Amino acid sequence: MSVQQNSRVADWIRINASTVPNRACFVTDTASFTFREVNSRVNRIASALRRMGVSQGDRVALFATDSAQYVETLLACMKLGALYVPLNFRLARPELQALLRTAEAKVLFYSDRYTGLVRGVDVPGLKTVISYDSESGDESYEGLVAASPDEEIDVPVADSDIVCLAFTSGTTALPKGVLHSQRMAKHMVMQCIVERRMTNLSFHYSAAPLFHVGGMLYTLSGVARGHTSLVLPAFDAPTVAHWMARGGLDGVFLVPTMIDTLLHEPAVAQGDFSNLRSIGYGAAPMSPALLRRAMSRFSCDFMNMFGAGTEAGLQTVLTPEDHRLALAGQEHLLGSIGKAGMGVSLRLCDPDDDTGLSDVPDGEVGEIVTRADAVMSGYLGQPEETAKVLVDGWFRGGDLAWRDEAGYLYLNGRKKDMIIRGGENIYPAEIEDVLGTYPGVREVAVVGVPDEHWGEIVRAHVILEDGATLAEDEVRAYCKARLAGYKVPAVFSVDTEFPRNASGKVLKRELRAG
């Protein structure tokens, strides 16, 4: 092999295939794959993709539920220097087609359950679709593994090279494609290993799906550290409860909604969790009451991992020591997102200053602004949007917080209107665009409102044309045909007027409070 100027993400699986060849890399609900087996399979898929004409810089899309094969595919892309494009498997057909076109995908891997969606899209330049499950595609995944050579591929990839194109939202208008460099991927993984205190003997499960940055980086952390990762198709409370109680897991990452669901499982009420060392949580707000219940039941270390995942990775951590301080009397810490994580420079800046960065004093609400190797390279083809959030290397994502005298941060809402439902980011504009085309709707404003289980749910405020009526079942069906199911409004409010400022802009803060 030629000498590399820098280490590559693709090197990790090869290294551990040599150092711990017989250790399980991935465990699924039906099988187990050692590091040696995974590296061989990755090489074979990389060889197959190269035979199909995929080379450095090409885009390979994944539209599938989680599997060991999914992770093998993105590692194969890393070995080739191709960009992997993880897509939310909840997308509706118009969203899927829009993102595949924006990505200029050359190859698409998919789960059989989405065959109808995949076969219905029109994407110029998409040459091959590959099924993970059967012969329904142009090629089958396992057929490629069986027919392709196990050869190490050595494509130099610089730290500044883009290795992943991750979308912040599945909008049919102007989706934001976030450009992840190899430097960003490596730093996020190192942060995860350090902050989650992973060892080479860990057995970890992340409930964040692989199309999320969280799911990807936790699984790649196992590949890098040489420990075992549990990979399940999707979060299922009884299955996860079984693995936590009797399956040997010593660490998990969960969204607060999932923790709430697990606490109602009989297996959790009766299980033995003495092997469980830590639970990381994040991606959505968690109430102190829910956190207290979880800490009482599981009796392990807890860590709050907060960040702007797709665009800026991990930003802050509330450590196990901080949680223990809370149990010892400093209960206010349960409402904190902690302090800056490893390698993160963090500031709180005036959220109303769109032209520069001016810090606010402790105790005042400011916008969280960070600089780290885990910050994105920008948005694909959107320099103006990039310039709004990247200022001299600092990322401003719109999250608002204040800092106490001890340096702990506390969230205070978001500058942007983004809604977080069960860990999924939802952008109101895309829902408003769809509802605005529904017959009889004159004007629409979408907001997020608190929900005990989901954290937030979508509420749509509409003003109707004179004489029009709104049948909620019908309008939901209309939305569901055009949007992922989790984006469909849970609640509708028919209003006669919206609160507005002097320039006529709708005051969504007042709508949320109403």
User: Could you state, in order of their start, the residue ranges of all structural domains in the chain?
Assistant: 9-184, 419-513
Q: Measured between alpha carbons, how far is 56 from 52 in angstroms, rounded to an integer?
A: 13
Residue 376 in tokens: 């994105």
CA-CA distances (angstroms) from residue 240 to 27, 296, 421?
Answer: 13, 19, 21
Q: What is the mean pLDDT for each group of 10 consecutive residues in the chain (514 residues)? A: 70 97 97 98 98 97 97 97 95 92 97 93 95 88 97 93 85 72 96 95 95 93 98 94 92 90 89 93 79 91 92 96 93 92 96 84 94 96 93 91 95 77 81 87 88 91 91 94 93 89 65 82
Strand ordering across the sheet containing 24-27: 32-34, 24-27, 228-230, 203-206, 251-254, 278-282, 301-308, 313-318, 339-340
Residue 237 in tokens: 């409370």
Q: Measured between alpha carbons, how far is 370 from 312 in angstroms, rounded to an integer?
A: 8
Give domain 9-184's CATH superfamily. Answer: ANL, N-terminal domain (3.40.50.12780)
Q: DSSP for 404-424, please give it.
A: -TTS-EEEEEESS--EEETTE
According to DSSP, the β-strands at 251-254 and 203-206 are parallel
pLDDT digit string (tens) for 105-120?
999 999 999 999 999 8
Q: Measured between alpha carbons, how far is 225 from 41 in angstroms, rounded to an integer?
A: 19
Say which amino acid occupies 263: L
**Predicted pLDDT of residue 67:** 97
pLDDT digit string (tens) for 215-234?
999 999 999 999 999 999 99
Asked if 349 and 366 count as a contact pair (C-beta separation under 8 A), the reply is yes
Residue 440 in tokens: 């009889």
**Predicted pLDDT of residue 432:** 85
**Predicted pLDDT of residue 427:** 75
Asked if 158 and 359 count as a contact pair (C-beta separation under 8 A), the reply is no
**454, 461, 448, 460: which is closest to 413 by C-alpha?**
448
Asked if 300 and 275 count as a contact pair (C-beta separation under 8 A), the reply is no
Residue 18 neighbours by CB under 8 Å, 6+ apart = none
Question: Considering the domain 419-513 in this protein, what is its CATH number?
Answer: 3.30.300.30
Helices assigned H by DSSP within 313-441: 320-327, 383-389, 428-435
**Predicted pLDDT of residue 267:** 86
What phi-psi label fits residue 70: left (phi over 0), alpha (psi between -120 and 50 degrees) or beta? alpha
Q: Measured between alpha carbons, how far is 367 from 388 in angstroms, rounded to an integer?
A: 13
Q: Measured between alpha carbons, how far is 228 from 27 in angstroms, rounded to an integer?
A: 7
Sequence-separated contacts (24+) of 493-498 with Cβ below 8 Å:
493/459, 493/460, 493/461, 493/462, 494/462, 494/463, 494/464, 494/470, 495/461, 495/462, 495/463, 496/463, 497/463, 498/443, 498/445, 498/461, 498/463
Give the torsion through C-alpha atoms of 240, 242, 245, 251, to 10 deg: -30
CA-CA distances (angstroms) from residue 153 to 38, 68, 85, 107, 230?
Answer: 15, 20, 20, 19, 27
Asked if 310 and 213 count as a contact pair (C-beta separation under 8 A), the reply is yes
Q: DSSP for 159-192, please give it.
A: TTSEEEEEES---SS---EEEEEHHHHHHHHHHH
DSSP 3-state of 295: helix
**157, 161, 197, 158: which is closest to 179 by C-alpha?**
161
Q: Measured between alpha carbons, how far is 223 from 229 in angstroms, rounded to an integer?
A: 8
Residue where the block lists tokens 């976030």: 178
Asked if 158 and 186 count as a contact pair (C-beta separation under 8 A), the reply is no
